[in-house]
Every structure is written in C-alpha cells, then in structure tokens.
Amino acid sequence: MHKILMLLVAGVLCSSLGLLRADDGGKTITIKGDGLCAKCGLKDKDAKKCQNAVVVTKDGKKTTYYLAGKLSNDAHKSLGFCNASKDEPVKVEVTGTCEKKGDKLVLTPTEKIKKIE
C-alpha cells in the first residue's frame, strides 16, 4: 500500500511540474534575424503553404522561429518574405509571444514586424 501511495504522489508531482513548464511558454520576446518564407526560402518540407520564418544566429547556432497570426500574414508580401532567399534574406525585428509547438518555436507577433538594415 505504501509503495502505491508513493507512486501516486510521484505521478501527481510530475504532472504538476509539466503544467508549470507549459505555463513557461508564451513569453514575450524580441528577436532580430533573417526573414524568409518557410516554404519558398527555407524549403521546409512540413510547410504546406507560405509561412514567415525568422532565422536567428547566436554564437554560431541557428534557431528558426515560425511566425503566426494576422501581423505575420500582413507582412508576408509587404516586407518581401516570400521573395527572400538564404543568400538575400529580409532583415527583420519581431516582438511577440513565443511558445514551442511540437519541435518548432512559434512566435505570434504582438507588434508590427519591422524591417531593419
């Protein structure tokens, strides 16, 4: 009986830690990087339609943020994401809430996406 109770307590504790970790997502961050279309520029095999992505390079490591939401859709053609390539990306700054969905980082802009030089 004691062992079952300990397993139950351990299960509840692990579940609670999982919920705390889930709340950790949705933080507001600002990133600067290379803006590209995930489908056209990055040739992402999972991208079934055009989607903005920003590749941030820090300490030699590249991290790709996939953008979502209305502000991202509005910026797709107006800032040239779809016409950008890995050799000639659009330099952008994006502020928004970031969360991990599956194995991807998804950033939902909360401010207008800015083109930087």
**Domains along the sequence of the chain with CATH:** 27-115 (2.40.50.140)
- Cα separation, 83 vs 62, whole angstroms: 21
pTM value > 0.85: no
Phi, psi of 112 (to 5 degrees): -60, 140
- Cα separation, 93 vs 77, whole angstroms: 16
Q: Which amino acid is at 11?
A: G
Tens digit of pLDDT for each residue in 32-51? 999 999 999 999 998 899 99
Tens digit of pLDDT for each residue in 61-91? 999 999 999 999 989 889 999 889 999 999 9
User: In this structure, what DSSP letter does residue 89 have?
Assistant: P
Cβ atoms of 53 and 90 closer than 8 Å: no
pLDDT on residue 27:
83
pLDDT at 13 over 80: no
pLDDT at 6 over 90: no
